[in-house]
Amino acid sequence: MTALDPRPSVIADRLKKIKKITAVTGWKGGIGKSVTASTLALLLTEKGFKTGLLDLDLTGASCHFILGSGKAFPREDMGLIPPFVHGVKFMSISFFSKGQGVPLRGANVTDAIIEMLAVTLWGELDHLVIDMPPGIGDAALDALKFFPKARILAVTTPSPVARDVLRRSLAVYRAMRVPVAGLVENMSPKGVPYDPRLDAAMGDPEKVLRTVFAKKLGFLTRKLF
């Protein structure tokens, strides 16, 4: 027989007690995916839902910075138990990178994602929010493969370039039969307006939750809860 990678065999088991999975996507960089994913996880937690947040943007992880995860670290107990950060069960490659860059090619990204999914014990969750990497490369395709129950929350901006990319992304999700649960137009008076207080709130979940950004995001995504 050829070599057999055993790790994928347990991934579905690791996720079976999660009721709803929301993948926050957007194919352009810098449009606010990570802030949207992190804030959504905080809002869900504030509403009393058992919530997890998985940062799958391995080469550009930033949810730990937004949440101010500090010295939080997974606990070993028959696997890795994600730590609670402001009430959110949080898993990220940032726990293991020592603040350094993570230069990975596609095959390495896939291997790292499989490793994390195989050993992370989420337990029971009402919601898991995934901060997806930009685009539809290896990491995003892996996520859609390993999270067949996931629905998409697409993030865009009023920029015509971002909207054009959004149009193409929605067509791909439709072709892949991945449900799109919602759309957030970030930095837009029609959607979530630019909030100058947001930058100053980074690293402090209490402050993030008090921003106009969080209030508007909570209103726009209320049907996802």
Positions touching another protein (CB under 8 A) are 1, 3-10, 13, 74, 76-80, 93, 95-98, 100-105, 108-109, 111-112, 115-116, 118-119, 121
CB of 12 to another protein, least distance (A): 10
Q: How far is CA 102 from CA 97, 141, 167, 213, in A?
A: 7, 19, 30, 29
> In this complex, which beta carbon is closest to another protein, that of residue 13 or of residue 124?
13
Tokens of 168: 């193409």
> In this complex, which beta carbon is closest to another protein, that of residue 90 or of residue 95?
95
Tokens of 206: 């209490």
> In this complex, which beta carbon is closest to another protein, that of residue 5 or of residue 199?
5
Closest to 193 measured CA to CA, from 215, 208, 173: 215
Amino acid letter at 212?
V
CB of 121 to another protein, least distance (A): 7
> In this complex, which beta carbon is closest to another protein, that of residue 71 or of residue 177?
71
CB of 153 to another protein, least distance (A): 26
Give bridge partners of residue 196 from the DSSP assignment: none
Give bridge partners of residue 153 from the DSSP assignment: 24, 182
CB of 116 to another protein, least distance (A): 6
Closest to 29 measured CA to CA, from 68, 65, 59: 59
> In this complex, which beta carbon is closest to another protein, that of residue 112 or of residue 184?
112
CB of 154 to another protein, least distance (A): 28
Contacts of 129 (CB under 8 A, 6+ apart): 22, 24, 37, 40, 41, 44, 51, 52, 53, 54
